[in-house]
Structure 1
Amino acid sequence: MKSFHSFIEKLTVALHQPLPGEKAHQIMQNSSQTRLNFKPNEQTRRSAVFILFYPFENEIYLPLILRPSYDGVHSAQIAFPGGRFEPTDESLIQTALRETNEEIGIKIEDVNVIGTMTELFIGPSNFKVLPVIGYLPYKPNFIGDKKEVETILETKLHDLSDPNIIGSSEMMIRDEKVIVPHYEIYHHKIWGATAKMISELLFILK
């Protein structure tokens, strides 16, 4: 697919230019974050997620996952596959690849990593998260980990790029009513750190 390879070439170049970072993140920042004043500390943990592009039927796709409901800050949220850095990982890129393999069953040996975006700090869970970007030259056969993944959303980049999916809603976060910007796609709302990553990705693609 010639257009897919052209897309990957342009994205690779863009990822090695200065990144928009905070400018893009601010667009999807909720109304409480300026007041809560979370900051990294010596207990802050490192993690990574993977943004995986692949071609299918002349479209460019990337997978998102719906986390299961559980007693935690990221319960039932839409996210990119990923997780925490383990001592056995050589790098955060390896963390992203390992976790993506574990959560959605992609073959690590077939993945081409092309770059990273701006690391984010997630205050409520005290994590720093590095978004890693890469691609597969084919549509993978996804296998979701039943403990980690409720649903895999195979998402068209074209749909994610539609400005009409941006909105906001009122949510209760830590017993506080908060106005939260989100992307709404396939009847799911994407907010928080994942929305900030998408915002930066769309800035880069522009």
Structure 2
Amino acid sequence: MQGLKDQISLALGRAHHGTSDFELNPETVLPAGRRLRPAGVLLGITTYTAEPQVILTKRSSALKHHPGQIAFPGGKVDATDADETDAALREAWEEIGLPRDLPQVIGTLPAHETVTGFLAKPVVALIPEPFKVQPEAGEVAEVFSTPLSHVLEPENYLVQSRRWRGQRRYFYVVPYGPYYIWGATARMLRGFAAAMGTEKGGV
């Protein structure tokens, strides 16, 4: 585990540039002076498993933002949160039952701007022990994991597109089995892969 922790620590030190849902769509004109809501998401990596796994969720189809999509546990920073890391740990406890004192936080990746107006900072942490997964019924439809090796493999990332608000929008995807991991989650994972030195072209 120490080797993985050290590798991630070095990787986070190399990641200097934030990412955006808009970067594959350069024709998009963003409003000047827009205000983004800070958020924290947990990029949690299990080390008690035979192979390190990244914990992900499938969001409830009833949610206002990103319904039915694959996402990290996390959410917006509340007034009671100290920062994005605090928000990510709180949300992971509320959404999937991950005890707040269990993740070993290593650091954060640069923030990612979403089309829904959030500035989400990925908090990278190791999870050294198993825990009782308890999906929050109103927010989380399913909790699953994908091998860390899968999301660190550059060839697993594709660029796809769909119509959104009357325009063609391009985005990253990194499918895994029946799970269609795309959009902000895929882009943040690709940024992590880049920082880890497995994805060419920078973060």
Same fold (TM over 0.5): yes
Residue of 107, 122, 143 corresponding to 2:99? 107
Shift of 1:160: 2.1
Partner of 1:143: 134
Please report the RMSD computed on the Cα atoms of aligned residues, expressed in angstroms: 2.2
Gap regions ≥5 residues in structure 2: 198-203
Distance 1:163 1:91, change over 3 A: closer
Residue of 5, 8, 14 corresponding to 1:18? 14
Q: Distance in 1 between matches of 2:88 and 2:145?
A: 18
Higher helix proportion (structure 1 or 2)? 1
Partner of 2:178: 187
Distance 1:45 1:73, change over 3 A: same
TM-score by length of 2: 0.86
Do 2:102 and 2:129's aligned partners in 1 also have CA atoms closer than 8 Å? no
Over the matched positions of the two proteins, sequence identity in percent amounts to 24
Q: Could you tell me which amino acid in structure 2 is paired with residue 74 of structure 1?
A: H
Provide the secondary structure at the position in 1 that maps to 2:4: helix
Q: Following superposition of structure 1 onto structure 2, how do residues 44-123 of structure 1 map, counting pairs within 5 Å? A: 44-70=36-62, 72-122=64-114
Shift of 1:167: 2.3
Q: Distance in 1 between matches of 2:181 and 2:130?
A: 23
Gap regions ≥5 residues in structure 1: none
Do 1:103 and 1:149's aligned partners in 2 also have CA atoms closer than 8 Å? yes
Shift of 1:77: 1.1
Q: Distance in 2 between matches of 1:131 and 1:201?
A: 9
Q: Could you tell me which amino acid in structure 2 is paired with residue 18 of structure 1?
A: R
Q: Distance in 2 between matches of 1:127 and 1:177?
A: 21
Q: Distance in 1 between matches of 2:48 and 2:22?
A: 32
Shift of 1:130: 0.9
TM-score by length of 1: 0.85
Q: Could you tell me which amino acid in structure 2 is paired with residue 179 of structure 1?
A: Y
Provide the secondary structure at the position in 2 that maps to 1:10: helix
Distance 1:92 1:170, change over 3 A: closer
